[in-house]
């Protein structure tokens, strides 16, 4: 049921600097059009003793580690103790949470990474929200535009929600594990504590506490 995929059922807002962005909204994808403006507003309020403004609308925590080969375009916020590794490409409208890892050749765009998220190897994360301690295995990506370029519809069985969005990556609840080489297609929403098998093409809502083996085999964790 769609109520299982609300912000309150998927995400711990105590584990993000962007909690205010989610206020008054029902589903996590509703924040996507507002991420950029929110970052600029929030960035201007950050304590300069903790965050250094580098470039236009880019705020990086002084305790964060950023490789000299990483590319960061604003608006962006890199949280405390985060790690942005070699050749990471952050191309705007991105929040990297405290203690999060953005790995080699990983690309972020219009995304919110909650605290302790790991996207450590060759990941694409566009128009997405990744909950606390979620992890994307090497080479797994969020596909954010349908091949027919139509607006994205979130589907859970017979229930449908018209998002009005052309670009919609994936919504991951807290503690989600995505296996290596998986493709999360537009409109994918994964509930808390669920696991996705490696090499999975996912195009649905995956309930919390589940294991996604394939489209016809989604089982509850024991």
**Contact call for residues 182 and 137 (beta carbons, < 8 A):** yes
Rounded to a whole number, what is the distance in angstroms from the first to the last CA of the chain?
Answer: 21
> Vertex 68, ends 43 and 19: CA angle to 5°?
25
**Contact call for residues 58 and 39 (beta carbons, < 8 A):** no
The CB density around residue 72, as the number of other CB atoms within 10 Å, is: 21
**Contact call for residues 76 and 39 (beta carbons, < 8 A):** yes
> Tokens in use for 183?
């493709």
Nearest to residue 186, comparing CAs of 137, 128, 130?
128
**Quick check: is 135 catalytic?**
no
Catalytic residue among 86, 121, 135, 175: 121
How far apart are the C-alpha atoms of 194 and 187, rounded to whole Å? 17
Task: State the DSSP code for 145.
Answer: B
Q: Which residues contact 146 (CB under 8 A, 6 or more apart)?
A: 152, 185, 186
> Tokens in use for 111?
């995304």
Residues annotated as catalytic (active site), given as ranges: 121
């Amino acid at each position: 049921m769609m109520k299982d995929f609300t912000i309150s059922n998927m995400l711990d807002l105590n584990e993000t600097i962007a909690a205010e962005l989610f206020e008054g909204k029902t589903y996590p994808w509703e924040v996507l059009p507002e991420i950029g403006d929110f970052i600029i507003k929030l960035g201007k309020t950050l304590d300069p003793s903790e965050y250094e403004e580098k470039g236009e609308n880019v705020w990086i925590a002084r305790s964060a580690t950023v490789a000299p080969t990483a590319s960061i375009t604003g608006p962006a916020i890199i949280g405390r103790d985060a790690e942005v590794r070699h050749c990471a490409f952050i191309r705007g409208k991105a929040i990297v949470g405290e203690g999060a890892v953005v790995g080699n050749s990983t690309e972020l765009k219009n995304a919110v990474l909650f605290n302790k998220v790991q996207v450590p190897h060759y990941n694409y994360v566009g128009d997405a929200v990744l909950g606390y301690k979620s992890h994307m295995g090497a080479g797994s990506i969020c596909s954010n535009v349908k091949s027919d370029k139509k607006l994205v519809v979130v589907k859970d069985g017979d229930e449908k929600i018209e998002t009005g969005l052309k670009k919609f990556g994936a919504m991951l609840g807290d503690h989600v594990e995505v296996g290596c080489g998986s493709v999360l297609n537009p409109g994918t929403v994964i509930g808390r504590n669920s696991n996705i098998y490696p090499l999975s093409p996912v195009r649905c809502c995956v309930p919390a506490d589940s294991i996604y083996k394939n489209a016809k085999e989604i089982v509850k964790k024991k």
